[in-house]
């Protein structure tokens, strides 16, 4: 596969006379894809049933004739004001019960039937018009589901739909009472119509009530997306794509992905470091111009899995963004570095956000590939450099990794509902495992918790997985590699209770979690010959085999050499020792990397990345400052 580059473009933001030159400049810069239309609803349908497609017809024809492949979008992330006036109760409602307002974007509630109808209607109109347009080579549905905290809605529509959802799931109210164990605190219902949403309760709602609400909310996203994909498939053969976001876990992306052909995500390394990372201040200062070096690749690997092997970066940060607490400029070379990294992880297309910085409205301070006056911004030169470098390759193809790491959205929700200690985050736990693996020079596949085929893998990691489902259980039973689990793996039933025989309910692990404790930030539990546990610690008893102990005598790692259960949240050093030991037993080579270097293997190449402004050496390999080095395998 030869990866391609592209950019996001808004013809409606610029005078028509400029479109042709913009298109020609894109081509001259090495870009061959352009995404349009995702926010253009008020221009294509300024009033109910009044349509104005002429300008868009011309834009598509100009961009396409210049040689660009177009990603057309459905505009449903930005319902215009007249739609809100028509359906005043379509607005998303926050947990405090306040309707969020129009005037920005994503203000709709996924459960509002009227809005769902509008979204299907406008998608069909756009699909009918452009479904067979030869310049349109892919479709984007909506824009960034869940972004700006927009998955969960506590509206009347959500309440109504949740009651239907629970009645379908549990069939009878007695069954729901039994599964939810509503006898606790006299929460029993006599009718589904009595069920409320789990917000504004005096103290915690029943965790299964909250978890089911999250499952329901995720299903609403899946349903919304499916309704558009079904319409689009009637009118187009082109692949369907959604652009997911970084660290948004409120809906099950694997499930949404089943109705699409390609996954994509919007990669803003510097924005994410400042806005949604728990790394230390020192780390943030050190990497302020590169971003957290594992965060992007984690999402690349995740979305490769969500897209079943096919994925893009739909929006790549090209310069300073506007939305994080601090918005530094990328290091010189960082845009090229991020692009190469995405390519090494399998991106078919890397598309930059956006072609030209808008001098107006909310994102006027957000850089583009070009300045508002049309002059080239630094990111464009770096994109063009990647384009030129791609000529050195006959193809860049992916190869299955030896190590698989499970990421499970349901576990995110479960531990969000029942963290037990304020620092417990499933995302952070899995991410810590990922970081340790990556800093050992390993390439990782992220897999879904419903994976049924583990062949080809030698190591499977599943920290914090709340429940091992039947499919995974049978896959593990037939798996002859090493399985690493814990803490918290297999510790809940699907009804969010403690399993009858106590956790961990993990195939091939014999032991019992007798108690758990969560720890203050400065309370560390030393592990013999290793580092320490932090945040979370389990007291395991009745273990068949104990591999390591804590200084206080409690088991730290149990199992045999092929099945390991880790009893707490281990520090990076400990994880690295455990993982490198397992890899060496399996004949998998590891290399301890310095903190600014990462490596990724593809079928025929090894790519080395340097996230620092100094040249670094790894053995005989020299990686230029802010650079990438590749070698043939």
- Is 313 among the residues that bind ligand GAL (CB under 6 A)? no
Q: Which is nearer to ligand GAL, 242 or 488 (CB)?
A: 242
Task: Figure out which of the listed residues 124, 259, 301, 315 binds ligand GAL, where binding follows CB under 6 A.
Answer: 315
Q: Which is nearer to ligand GAL, 107 or 215 (CB)?
A: 107
Maximum CA extent, the chain:
76
CB 317, CB 269: distance < 8 Å = yes
Cα 443 to Cα 435: distance, rounded to the nearest angstrom:
11
CA neighbor of 130 nearest in space, from 38, 60, 42, 69: 60
Tokens 């011309």: give the residue.
Answer: 58
Q: Which is nearer to ligand GAL, 362 or 474 (CB)?
A: 362
Q: Which is nearer to ligand GAL, 363 or 423 (CB)?
A: 363
CB 71, CB 137: distance < 8 Å = yes
Q: Which is nearer to ligand GAL, 144 or 382 (CB)?
A: 144
Task: Figure out which of the listed residues 266, 382, 408, 451 binds ligand GAL, where binding follows CB under 6 A.
Answer: 266
* CB 375 to ligand GAL: min, Å: 20
315 in catalytic set: yes
Q: Which is nearer to ligand GAL, 321 or 505 (CB)?
A: 321
Q: Which of 144, 274, 341, 348 is catalytic?
A: 144
* CB 323 to ligand GAL: min, Å: 6
Task: Figure out which of the listed residues 353, 407, 433, 630 binds ligand GAL, where binding follows CB under 6 A.
Answer: 353
Task: Figure out which of the listed residues 143, 217, 267, 296 binds ligand GAL, where binding follows CB under 6 A.
Answer: 143
Q: Which is nearer to ligand GAL, 335 or 496 (CB)?
A: 335
Applying CB under 6 A, which part among 81-89, 141-149, 208-216, 224-232 lies near ligand GAL? 141-149
- Spatial neighbors of 369 by CB under 8 A, at least 6 apart, are 7, 29, 318, 352, 354, 355, 356, 376, 377, 379, 380, 383
Cα 301 to Cα 329: distance, rounded to the nearest angstrom:
26
Cα 131 to Cα 526: distance, rounded to the nearest angstrom:
61
Site for ligand GAL in 563-602 (CB under 6 A): none
- Is 321 among the residues that bind ligand GAL (CB under 6 A)? yes
Applying CB under 6 A, which part among 139-147, 274-282, 424-432, 449-457 lies near ligand GAL? 139-147
CA neighbor of 582 nearest in space, from 478, 435, 465, 460: 460
* CB 243 to ligand GAL: min, Å: 6
Task: Give the strands of the sheet with 546-549, arranged side by side.
Answer: 444-447, 403-406, 459-462, 482-485, 563-566, 555-560, 546-549
* CB 322 to ligand GAL: min, Å: 7
User: Mask of contacts with ligand GAL, 226-255, x by CB under 6 A?
Assistant: ------------------------------
3-state class of 613 per DSSP?
coil
Applying CB under 6 A, which part among 42-50, 188-196, 207-215, 315-323 lies near ligand GAL? 315-323
Q: Which of 118, 274, 315, 538 is catalytic?
A: 315
Q: Read off φ and ψ for residue 304, nearest 5 degrees.
A: -60, -40
- Is 147 among the residues that bind ligand GAL (CB under 6 A)? yes
Applying CB under 6 A, which part among 118-126, 143-151, 464-472, 484-492 lies near ligand GAL? 143-151
Structure tokens at 397: 């193809």
Q: Which is nearer to ligand GAL, 35 or 535 (CB)?
A: 35
Task: Figure out which of the listed residues 108, 135, 268, 608 binds ligand GAL, where binding follows CB under 6 A.
Answer: 268
For strands 444-447 and 525-526, give the pairing: unpaired
Q: For the residues of 492-508, what is the DSSP string, one character each?
A: S-TTSS--TT-S---TT
Task: Figure out which of the listed residues 118, 144, 274, 382 binds ligand GAL, where binding follows CB under 6 A.
Answer: 144
Torsion, Cα of 466, 467, 471, 476 (10° steps) = 80
**How many residues bind ligand GAL, per CB under 6 A?**
11
- Is 264 among the residues that bind ligand GAL (CB under 6 A)? no
* CB 266 to ligand GAL: min, Å: 5
For strands 563-566 and 482-485, give the pairing: parallel
- Is 270 among the residues that bind ligand GAL (CB under 6 A)? no
Q: Which is nearer to ligand GAL, 74 or 439 (CB)?
A: 74
User: Mask of contacts with ligand GAL, 358-377, x by CB under 6 A?
Assistant: -----x--x-----------
Distance (Å) of CA 310 to CA 260, 525, 606 = 10, 42, 20
Q: For the residues of 202-257, what is the DSSP string, one character each?
A: SSPPPHHHHHHHHHHHHHHHHHHHHHHHHHHHHH--SPEEEEE-TT--SS-HHHHH
Q: Give the length of the chain.
A: 633
Torsion, Cα of 43, 48, 50, 51 (10° steps) = 50
Q: Which is nearer to ligand GAL, 319 or 555 (CB)?
A: 319
Residues at the contact surface with ligand GAL, assessed by CB under 6 A: 143-144, 147, 266, 268, 315, 321, 323, 353, 363, 366
Q: Which residues are catalytic, by number? A: 144, 315
């Amino acid at each position: 596969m030869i990866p391609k580059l592209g950019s996001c473009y808004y013809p409606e933001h610029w005078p028509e006379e400029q479109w042709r030159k913009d298109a020609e400049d894109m081509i001259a810069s090495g870009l061959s894809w352009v995404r349009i239309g995702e926010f253009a609803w008020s221009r294509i349908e300024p009033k109910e049933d009044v349509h104005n497609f002429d300008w868009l017809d011309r834009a598509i024809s100009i961009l396409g004739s210049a040689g660009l492949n177009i990603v057309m979008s459905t505009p449903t992330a930005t319902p215009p004001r007249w739609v809100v006036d028509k359906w005043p109760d379509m607005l998303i409602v926050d947990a405090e019960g306040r309707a969020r307002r129009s005037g920005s974007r994503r203000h709709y509630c996924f459960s509002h039937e009227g809005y769902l109808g509008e979204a299907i209607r406008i998608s069909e109109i756009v699909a009918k018009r452009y479904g067979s347009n030869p310049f349109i080579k892919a479709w984007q549905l909506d824009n960034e589901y869940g972004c700006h905290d927009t998955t969960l809605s506590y509206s009347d529509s959500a309440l109504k739909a949740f009651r239907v959802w629970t009645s379908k799931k549990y069939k009878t109210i007695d069954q729901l009472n039994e599964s939810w164990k509503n006898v606790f605190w006299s929460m029993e219902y006599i009718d589904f119509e009595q069920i409320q949403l789990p917000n504004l309760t005096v103290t915690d709602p029943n965790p299964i009530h909250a978890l089911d609400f999250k499952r329901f909310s995720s299903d609403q996203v899946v349903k919304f997306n499916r309704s558009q994909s079904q319409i689009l498939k009637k009118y187009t053969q082109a692949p369907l794509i959604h652009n997911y976001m970084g660290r948004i876990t409120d809906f099950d992306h694997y499930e949404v992905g089943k109705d699409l052909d390609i996954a994509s995500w919007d990669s803003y390394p510097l924005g994410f470091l400042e806005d949604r990372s728990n790394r230390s201040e020192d780390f943030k200062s050190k990497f302020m111009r590169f971003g957290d070096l594992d965060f992007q690749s984690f999402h690349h690997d995740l979305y490769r899995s969500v897209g079943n092997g096919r994925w893009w970066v739909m929006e790549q940060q090209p310069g300073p963004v506007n939305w994080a607490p601090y918005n530094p400029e990328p290091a010189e070379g960082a845009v090229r570095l991020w692009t190469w990294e995405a390519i090494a992880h399998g991106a078919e297309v890397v598309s930059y956000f956006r072609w030209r910085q808008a001098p107006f409205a909310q994102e006027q301070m957000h850089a583009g590939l070009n300045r508002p006056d049309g002059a080239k911004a630094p990111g464009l030169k770096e994109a063009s450099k990647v384009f030129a470098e791609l000529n050195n390759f006959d193809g860049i193809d992916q190869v299955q990794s030896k190590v698989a790491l499970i990421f499970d959205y349901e576990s995110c929700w479960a531990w969000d509902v029942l963290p037990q200690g304020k620092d417990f985050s499933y995302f952070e736990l899995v991410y810590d495992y990922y970081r340790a693996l990556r800093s050992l020079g390993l390439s990782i596949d992220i897999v879904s918790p419903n994976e049924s085929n583990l062949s080809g893998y030698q190591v499977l990691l599943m920290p914090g997985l709340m429940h091992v489902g039947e499919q995974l259980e049978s896959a593990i039973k037939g798996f002859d590699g090493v399985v690493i689990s814990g803490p918290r793996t297999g510790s809940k039933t699907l009804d969010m209770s403690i399993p009858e025989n106590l956790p961990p309910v993990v195939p091939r692990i014999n032991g019992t979690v007798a108690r758990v404790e969560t720890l203050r930030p400065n309370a560390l539990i030393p592990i013999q010959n290793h580092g320490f546990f932090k945040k979370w610690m389990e007291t395991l008893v009745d273990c068949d085999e104990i591999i390591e102990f804590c200084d206080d005598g409690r088991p730290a790692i149990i199992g045999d050499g092929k099945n390991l259960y880790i009893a707490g949240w281990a520090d990076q050093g400990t994880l690295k020792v455990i993982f490198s030991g397992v890899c060496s037993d399996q004949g998998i080579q590891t290399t301890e990397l310095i903190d600014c270097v990462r490596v990724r293997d593809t079928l025929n190449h090894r790519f080395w990345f340097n996230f620092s402004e100094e040249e670094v050496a790894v053995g005989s390999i020299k990686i230029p400052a802010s650079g990438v080095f590749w070698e043939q395998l």
